[in-house]
Structure 1
Amino acid sequence: MDHDFLWDGPKPPSRGPKPTLTLERIATAGIALADAEGLGAVAMHRVAAELGVTKMSLYRYVPGKAELVALMAEHAIGAPPELPATGWRPGLAAWARSLLGAYLAHPWALEATVGPRPVGPVELTWLECALRVLADTPLTGPERLDTVAVLAGHTRGIAQQASAGRNPEADLTTAIAAPLARHGDRFPQLLSALAATGDAGAGDQAFEFGLTLILDGAERRMATQAPTASGHS
């Protein structure tokens, strides 16, 4: 894998015809293919065909499929949003909601951004953006990284469920309906929680609820590390 490709772009050809494609155009063609058919449909020859060039011609711009997929993910997810300057908590909440929106718009990007792969400036800018929000908090460097990792993991998990057409609460309710009809007296707390959910008319609020729990936990951690009035930690 060429780990410099996303940062430096393709090397100018020393000979041959003048380049006619741009990386943006290549990424756009790959994104359209992945959006329509999934990441498994993306191959150098398929993208080349969409662009009206040969597979060998495409290799003049992109070293291989790994770099092509990374290029697509960079363009599909895009730059992080401008975060509100009203504190770390609104900032991280906005960050997570924006990331969720990007994954929901392009579900294949979930698969494209795991495991060994070329990592580009867009992905690192998202990380930098979230860490900048936490820069003035009492959290240590490792704790700031872990906070962002937990938040990103929660966001990815919800996006994966949504892209698969899954509603965890609905799935659970359907799966346990028959057992509870026969053995409900053994699970009073479960029945009570399900009844309360139905009475409140609550849908699947897993993302926002999980987001609140993570931010609450980070806030509590900060409070334990904040300097006391005497100046001691």
Structure 2
Amino acid sequence: MTADFFWAPRPKPTRGPKPALTLDEIADAAIAVADAEGLAAVSMQRVAADLGYTKMSLYRYVPGKAELVAAMLERAMSTPPALPHGWRAALTTWAESMLTRLAGHPWALEVMALGGRPVGPTEVAWLESALAALPTGLTGAERMDVVATLAWHVRGTAAEAGTGETEFTASVGRILREHADRYPNVASAFADVASRGGADQAFHFGLNRFFDGVEAYLERV
């Protein structure tokens, strides 16, 4: 794994044919495979074949799979969005944008969990964006903790989105028709949702309660 893959200047060949591919083109081809078949289907050989090149020719641009998946994540996440004024609104936009991009590429969660991959400028830009939006009054460690907690909430929501939550809710509803007396708190919550609505708001509910906590903490320090 080349830790400075995204940061070291790339040598320009002085002899031979000009590069026929770009790193973005390679990453896009790999993303197409992962979106359709999952991250396990991505390999140097598969991506090279889809691009019409040999596996060995791809190594001219990407040293190995660790760098390839890192380049995929950089392309999939893209640049962070422009943020509105006000730290709560800004971080809400930041979190919503990250969730949207993760939802579009579910394999990105798996890449984020991988060790031994180079970190690129896009990942650092997302961190910079969130840190810049935070209110004053927090220490450096606290600022990092706020962003980490926010990112965990986004990733957790994105992970749950692919686990059949709607099917689970429907199944519990069917069970309650005959067994509500065994689960009175579940039955009460479901009945309240049925009468007043408010379902499927966990993402924003969590965001707002987290921000409430940050505000309360800032009032004490």
Q: Please, what TM-score do these two structures have when normalized by structure 2?
A: 0.91
Unpaired runs of 5+ residues, structure 1, are 226-233
SS in 2 for 1:6: coil
Separation of aligned partners in 2, 1:96 and 1:110: 15
Separation of aligned partners in 2, 1:166 and 1:215: 28
Query: Is the 1:10–1:61 Cα contact (8 Å) retained in structure 2?
Result: no
Kindly tell me the number of residue pairs found equivalent between the two proteins. Answer: 220
- After superposing the two structures, state which structure 1 stretch, 112-121 or 152-161, moved more: 112-121
Following TM superposition, by how much is the alpha carbon of 1:192 offset from its aligned partner in structure 2, in angstroms? 1.6
Query: Is the 2:79–2:126 Cα contact (8 Å) retained in structure 1?
Result: yes
SS in 2 for 1:8: coil
Selected match of 1:192 from 188, 191, 202? 188
Counting only pairs closer than 5 Å after superposition, residues 149-228 of structure 1 correspond to structure 2 as 149-162=148-161, 164-167=162-165, 171-172=168-169, 174-175=171-172, 177-178=174-175, 181-182=178-179, 184-185=180-181, 187-225=183-221
Unpaired runs of 5+ residues, structure 2, are none
What amino acid is aligned across from residue 110 of structure 2 in structure 1? E
Separation of aligned partners in 2, 1:11 and 1:181: 70
Distance 1:13 1:59, change over 3 A: farther
Query: Is the 2:176–2:187 Cα contact (8 Å) retained in structure 1?
Result: no
What amino acid is aligned across from residue 78 of structure 2 in structure 1? G
- Structure 2 residue 37 is the aligned partner of structure 1 residue 43: no
Following TM superposition, by how much is the alpha carbon of 1:32 offset from its aligned partner in structure 2, in angstroms? 1.0
Q: Please, what TM-score do these two structures have when normalized by structure 1?
A: 0.87
Root-mean-square deviation (CA), in Å? 2.0
Separation of aligned partners in 1, 2:61 and 2:15: 13
Distance 1:57 1:35, change over 3 A: same
SS in 1 for 2:7: helix
Query: Is the 2:102–2:158 Cα contact (8 Å) retained in structure 1?
Result: yes
What amino acid is aligned across from residue 68 of structure 2 in structure 1? L
Query: Is the 1:139–1:221 Cα contact (8 Å) retained in structure 2?
Result: no
Separation of aligned partners in 2, 1:154 and 1:52: 40
CA deviation profile, 1:173-200 (whole Å, cap 9, x unmatched): 6247537733x34543332211101112
The residue aligned with 1:22 is 22
The residue aligned with 2:112 is 113
The residue aligned with 1:228 is none
Separation of aligned partners in 2, 1:198 and 1:118: 48
What amino acid is aligned across from residue 166 of structure 1 in structure 2? G
Following TM superposition, by how much is the alpha carbon of 1:12 offset from its aligned partner in structure 2, in angstroms? 3.9
SS in 1 for 2:61: coil
Distance 1:9 1:25, change over 3 A: farther
